[in-house]
Amino acid sequence: MSQTHKEALLKMQEPASTDVGSAADYIALMKPRVMSLVVFTALVGLVMAPGAMHPVMAIAAILLIAVGAGASAALNMWYDADIDAVMSRTQDRPVPSGRVTADGALTFGLWVSGLSVLSMAVMINYLSAALLAFTIFFYAVIYTMYLKRRTAQNIVIGGAAGALPPVIGWAAATNSVSIEPLIYFAIIFFWTPPHFWALALIKNDDYQAANVPMLPVTAGVKSTLSQIVLYAFVLFGVTMLPYGLGFSGLFYASGAAVLGGIFVALCLVLAFTGEKHRNRVAGMTFAYSIFYLFLLFVLLPTDKVMGL
């Protein structure tokens, strides 16, 4: 850049609606931590699928799923900027903090969504592109714009969006969907409520202030705790299905039983913990739930490789 151009830019006074977001802000818009779980579960779906996919195609598919997930996160941050600004956990996000404008986040989210879906259709196959488009639509429109502010079942139904990546991975590899990816979908689907409700218990005041009808806000702590325990038991049963239906072996089943047993025990401890220590145990349950899902999805391909 020439010195004159630089000086002209330095002198330029623009309205606050100007986007001053850095590259890091735009990366933050894509919720990289959530994206990492999406990438990982999609990769497991792809690896578990029968047949071999060319490594370049596999890399392209995973990248596009990651980009699509990031785009839907940007759309979520655009729409939720008002409630993000109220909650301590989210008020430093790029839009509520003013580093990225709402228009900037919307434009970015729409362009990247379109680009990821079209590229998926051209590079991989139409089925995975359609599933990716549906996932983005479900998360950004059905969950973010409709469910989140209206019903305590927001994250139960909305959890479907987060559960779809292994199905997309499978579809990318096989151009079909069968029972196996649907079981992986069910695992994440039933894992989501206890995971989020543990966090909602800790951040109850935040959700109340932001008027988000999370279960602890609408139904109270007691009811939330019993729902957490109920879902933990259902999740335990669902994680046994890959073994029960015969597409995973004993290695997976025993690992899933131990991990699931610990999760159920933690949820029970949480349910019977007094108010004084509840947030600490809820924090442990939330942290363990991430570790639990991660290890479940490590067990699946490991079991396949070991062939037990």
Partner 1 sequence: MSEDNKPKEEVVWTEELLRERRKRATIMAIALLAFIALFFWVTLVKLGANVANRPL
Residues that bind partner 1 (CB under 8 A): 1, 6, 9-18, 20-23, 26, 54, 56-57, 59-60, 63, 119, 123
Q: Assess contact for 148 and 80: CB atoms under 8 A.
A: yes
Instruction: Classify residue 168 as exposed, middle or buried by CB count within 10 Å of its CB (0-12, 13-18, 19+).
Output: buried
- Rounded to the nearest whole angstrom, what is the least distance from the CB of residue 6 to partner 1 in the complex? 7
- Rounded to the nearest whole angstrom, what is the least distance from the CB of residue 141 to partner 1 in the complex? 26
> Which residues lie below 8 Å from residue 219, measured CB to CB, with a gap of 6+?
152, 227
112 vs 228 by CB, closer to partner 1: 112
99 vs 148 by CB, closer to partner 1: 99
- Rounded to the nearest whole angstrom, what is the least distance from the CB of residue 41 to partner 1 in the complex? 22
- Rounded to the nearest whole angstrom, what is the least distance from the CB of residue 112 to partner 1 in the complex? 10
Q: What angle do CA 282, 83, 94 make, to 5 degrees?
A: 95
- Rounded to the nearest whole angstrom, what is the least distance from the CB of residue 230 to partner 1 in the complex? 44
27 vs 157 by CB, closer to partner 1: 27
- Rounded to the nearest whole angstrom, what is the least distance from the CB of residue 117 to partner 1 in the complex? 14
> Which residues lie below 8 Å from residue 45, measured CB to CB, with a gap of 6+?
165, 166, 167, 168, 169, 170, 173, 181, 184
14 vs 275 by CB, closer to partner 1: 14
What 148-152 contacts at long range (C-beta under 8 Å, 24+ apart), as own/partner pairs, is 148/80, 148/212, 149/83, 149/211, 149/212, 149/213, 150/213, 151/213, 152/213, 152/214, 152/215, 152/217, 152/218, 152/219
31 vs 203 by CB, closer to partner 1: 31
11 vs 276 by CB, closer to partner 1: 11
Tokens 């890959």: give the residue: 242
